[in-house]
Structures are given as structure tokens and as C-alpha cells.
């Protein structure tokens, strides 16, 4: 737990811009999805808390609460909508101000049924949310569109496509001038889990690609896949160009960890899930204990993706801690270049990590990129770890805090050095909270929560701090 504080005032204008700048003041902002939040007395109607960046980073400059009762946002808050189950802050139209994408997989849609799901886009603006609109709703009952969401320019035309994960399906809304089309990317069993999405230029052609991970077990047969897709202009559809099968993951993240100019793909909490006898899709089996991070590196000399790989967990040299079952190392991932050496660094959360005897207190790691990636020639990592017992980090590690359930990065104070945020939805009897680690350090770390930000329904389990998104 940590002490509460006062809500601060609005920020001054800064000279820098950020793709997650929702209010146009030049500072990166942070979107916190709160799908378990109560709105207007409706349990789990859900909301998104956009926390303003500023000279002191996020958490010190106030925030806004975006719900389906916000005048600019389509729909009405209803119990179980789970608005904010997925969130993204991204500049869709290139005007320098980010839009908010929010999924509501529990949304009931007229003529489409219960839990058809919905994704909404809300425009950013200097004085609050701009106009909002429906991006796409699910076609049938339990389609649950909005379990996951991502956006990137997949076609190379300068417009960003919006990718939506639902029950047993991933679709992309593709911009075509003033019009758009919807194309199915994946239609396969996902075991009731949200498909995991990430974007990056994995084939080195200068245009973003889409990474999708999904898995189920025994229904009717085990399936587990991580697949890469690119836009095929001739077919006007997404084309699959790379797979690793029998790998079940909880998180994906794209970054150039070895600084060679090619995007790499990190698989978080990777473990073998297969009916087939295919060995080690997540690297050496011993490194899956407690959760492993498996990295496929970008284009090699022969132009292929993923032929070089590295795997690490808490038993890897240079990674603080000890790998234990249930740690869930890598269950949340984010990418940024904290040390500004031209090689991306990976932030990994382990919400199941025990701190002393306190099970599930949680922790997060900063894994530095290097000339060979996240591991050097001797297989050693360079990393630091944080939890609520780390010197400088506010609070005390307690059982089931789940610190590190979500992680994000952004230059929230516009000083040119990325900052890290980590969510702890189990904090304070599941009211939840988030932590700011300025410049990726525990020095001057701060915490913020529904209480410090003046949000309503402080007696309910809002599980604030998951998901998080910024850039």
C-alpha cells in the first residue's frame, strides 16, 4: 500500500510532441483501462482514465475519466459492458493529437445480441475529449469485439488501420481514402482469451506488420500460434508470412533490441502448448519455468525473420530473482529505449512474483538491449528490477498486489528520456494503483490511484492499473 496525495493542477505547454498526447499540450499521456469500474451505479460498466503528462510526469497533473456517459462517447454505460478492457492512445489522423481507442467486449448491440462487443474511437482535444464514434461492433452474440485493440499503418498509405480482437476472431478495419473495409485476419478458437496483438516492421519493407498470438487447449484439439501478417494489396487482405506454432504467450512486443535496424518480436510468458510433439517453441524448456521471454530477431543475412532467437527467465545470469512456478515473468511487456543507446529495452512484468513470503506481490524488470539483443555473447542479461519493497518505490509489497500486471512507457515529462509505468490492480483491496518510474529508475518514483486522482467509487474493487497504454 502507499499513502494518498492531492490531485494536482493542469500542465503548462511543452515544446515536444508525443503520439500519445491526448490533450495537445506536448506531453505524452497515459490511458488506464478500468473495465471493472462502476459508472453511474452500473457495476463493471467500465471507464478509461486518461492521466495527463507534464513537468512532473503522469499522476501529478490530474486526469479525465472517459465513460459511455461522457457526452462525446457513443452508447450508454450498462452493467458488464467492460468499457476499457482494451485501450490504445494513437494519432490516427496525423494532426499531432492522439485518439483514444477503447474496447467494450461486454456491450450488447441492437440486432446483434448480448456481448457482441464494440470498439469506440474518441478524439483528443485541448480542452477535453473530442467527438467519439463507433469503430466496429461484433456481428453476433458473444463475439466480444474489443477484447484487444491495436492500430498501425499496415497498408503503407499513411492511414492507420485498427485491428480488433474478439472471441475466436481478429479483424482489421482498413482505411481506403474516405471509406474503409473490414477484413478477417484470424478465425480460430482462442479458448475464451483475448487474442494478443502487436505491430512492427518484421519483414523490413518499411511498412508495419501485425503479430497475433492465440491459444486454446483441448477444444476440440490444442492450438497455439504466434503468427505475422502483412498487407497484400493485390488481394486486399492480410497475408500470413511467418509462424511459430505450439507456443502459447500472454504478451507480445516489437522493438529493435540489437540495434540492427530490424524489428524483433518478444514473446512474453511463453510456454509450449501443443498436441504435436514439437520441441521447444519457446526456447529451452528449463527457461519456461516461472515464465520465459523468447525473442525472435529481425531479418538475417538471408532476409528471413526469426532465424535467430534468445530466451531468458529469472534463472538467466543478469536477471535478478529466481524462477518459480507461478511468477508469470513476461506476462506484460513494453518497449522503449531508456538509456538512449539506439537499442530498444524491454520492460517485463511478473504479477505472480512472490516478494519474500508475500505471494503474488508482483514485480517488473527493465531488460537492456545490446549489440546481440537482450543477452550478450555469454548469455548474460543487463537488467534491474522493481517492486514495492525496492528503495525509492512508494508502498509496501503485499500479497496479491500483482504489481507488473501491466507496463507502459512514454516521455511523460518531455525531458527526452522515456519513463516507465507499472500497474498493480490488486493494490488496496483491488482498488488498484499505478507507479511512475522516471527515466526508468526507482529514484523519485511516485504512485497514483483512483483515490489520489479523485475518481469516484473508492469503495469498489476497480482493479485500476490494467491495462495501460502510452507511447
Q: Given phi > 0 = left and psi -120 to 50 = alpha, else beta, which region is 326?
A: left
pLDDT mean over 56-77: 96
Q: How far apart are CA 220 and CA 230, in angstroms?
A: 29
Q: Mind listing the pLDDT tens digit for each residue in 48-64? A: 999 999 999 999 999 99
DSSP states of 224-266: EEEEEEEEETTTTEEEEEEEEESEE-SEEEEE-TT-SSS-EEE
Q: Mind listing the pLDDT tens digit for each residue in 123-152? A: 999 877 999 999 999 999 999 999 999 999
Q: How far apart are CA 235 and CA 161, in angstroms?
A: 16
- Note whether 298 and 264 are within 8 A (CB): yes
pLDDT at residue 4 in the model = 35
Q: Given a cut of 60, is residue 382 above it in pLDDT?
A: yes
pLDDT at residue 470 in the model = 80
pLDDT at residue 9 in the model = 33
- Note whether 174 and 155 are within 8 A (CB): yes
Grid coordinates in use for 42? 452500473
Helices (H), 296-389: none
Q: How far apart are CA 35 and CA 26, in angstroms?
A: 28
Q: Mind listing the pLDDT tens digit for each residue in 1-41? A: 443 333 333 333 333 345 899 999 999 999 999 999 999 99
Confidence category of residue 300, pLDDT binned at 50, 70, 90: low
Q: Given a cut of 70, is residue 111 above it in pLDDT?
A: yes
pLDDT at residue 471 in the model = 73
220: Cβ–Cβ under 8 A, 6 or more apart, which residues?
none
Amino acid at each position: 500500500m502507499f499513502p494518498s496525495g492531492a490531485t494536482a493542477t493542469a500542465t503548462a505547454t511543452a515544446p515536444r510532441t508525443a503520439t500519445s498526447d491526448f490533450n495537445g499540450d506536448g506531453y505524452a499521456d497515459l490511458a488506464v483501462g478500468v473495465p471493472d469500474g462502476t459508472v453511474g451505479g452500473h457495476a463493471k460498466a467500465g471507464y478509461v482514465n486518461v492521466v495527463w503528462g507534464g513537468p512532473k510526469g503522469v499522476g501529478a497533473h490530474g486526469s479525465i475519466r472517459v465513460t459511455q456517459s461522457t457526452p462525446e462517447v457513443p452508447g450508454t454505460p450498462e452493467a458488464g459492458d467492460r468499457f476499457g478492457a482494451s485501450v490504445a492512445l494513437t494519432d490516427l489522423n496525423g494532426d499531432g493529437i492522439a485518439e483514444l481507442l477503447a474496447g467494450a467486449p461486454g456491450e450488447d448491440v441492437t440486432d446483434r445480441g448480448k456481448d457482441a462487443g464494440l470498439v469506440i474511437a474518441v478524439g483528443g482535444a485541448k480542452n477535453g475529449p473530442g467527438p467519439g464514434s463507433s469503430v466496429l461492433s461484433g456481428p453476433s452474440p458473444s463475439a466480444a469485439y474489443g477484447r484487444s485493440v491495436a492500430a498501425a499503418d499496415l497498408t503503407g498509405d499513411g492511414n492507420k488501420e485498427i485491428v480488433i480482437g474478439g472471441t475466436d476472431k481478429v479483424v482489421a478495419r482498413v482505411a481506403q481514402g474516405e471509406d474503409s473495409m473490414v477484413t478477417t485476419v484470424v478465425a480460430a478458437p482462442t479458448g475464451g482469451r483475448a487474442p494478443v496483438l502487436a505491430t512492427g516492421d518484421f519483414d523490413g519493407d518499411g511498412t508495419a506488420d501485425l503479430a497475433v498470438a492465440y491459444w486454446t487447449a483441448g477444444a476440440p484439439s490444442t492450438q497455439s500460434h504466434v503468427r505475422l501478417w502483412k498487407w497484400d494489396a493485390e488481394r486486399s487482405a492480410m497475408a500470413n508470412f511467418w509462424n511459430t506454432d505450439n507456443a502459447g504467450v500472454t504478451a507480445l512486443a516489437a522493438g529493435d533490441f540489437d540495434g540492427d535496424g530490424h524489428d524483433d518480436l518478444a514473446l512474453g510468458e511463453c510456454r509450449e502448448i501443443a498436441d504435436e510433439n514439437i520441441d521447444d517453441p519457446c526456447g529451452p524448456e528449463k527457461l519456461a519455468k516461472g515464465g520465459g521471454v523468447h525473442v525472435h530477431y529481425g531479418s538475417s543475412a538471408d532476409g528471413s525473420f526469426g532465424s535467430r532467437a534468445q530466451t531468458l527467465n529469472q534463472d538467466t545470469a543478469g536477471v535478478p530473482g529466481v524462477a518459480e512456478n507461478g511468477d508469470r515473468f513476461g506476462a506484460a511487456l513494453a518497449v522503449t529505449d531508456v538509456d538512449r543507446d539506439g537499442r530498444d529495452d524491454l520492460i517485463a512484468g511478473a504479477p505472480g512474483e512472490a516478494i519474500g513470503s508475500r505471494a503474488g506481490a508482483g514485480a517488473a524488470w527493465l531488460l537492456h538491449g545490446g549489440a546481440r539483443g537482450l543477452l550478450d555473447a555469454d548469455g548474460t542479461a543487463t537488467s534491474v528490477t522493481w517492486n514495492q519493497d525496492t528503495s525509492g518505490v512508494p508502498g509496501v509489497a503485499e500479497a496479491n498486489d500483482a504489481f507488473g500486471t501491466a507496463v507502459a512507457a512514454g516521455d511523460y515529462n518531455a525531458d527526452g528520456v522515456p519513463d516507465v509505468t507499472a500497474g498493480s490492480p490488486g493494490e488496496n483491496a483491488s482498488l488498484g494503483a499505478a507507479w511512475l518510474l522516471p527515466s526508468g529508475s526507482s529514484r523519485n518514483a511516485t504512485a497514483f490511484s483512483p483515490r489520489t486522482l479523485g475518481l469516484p467509487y473508492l469503495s469498489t474493487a476497480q482493479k485500476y492499473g490494467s491495462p495501460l497504454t502510452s507511447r
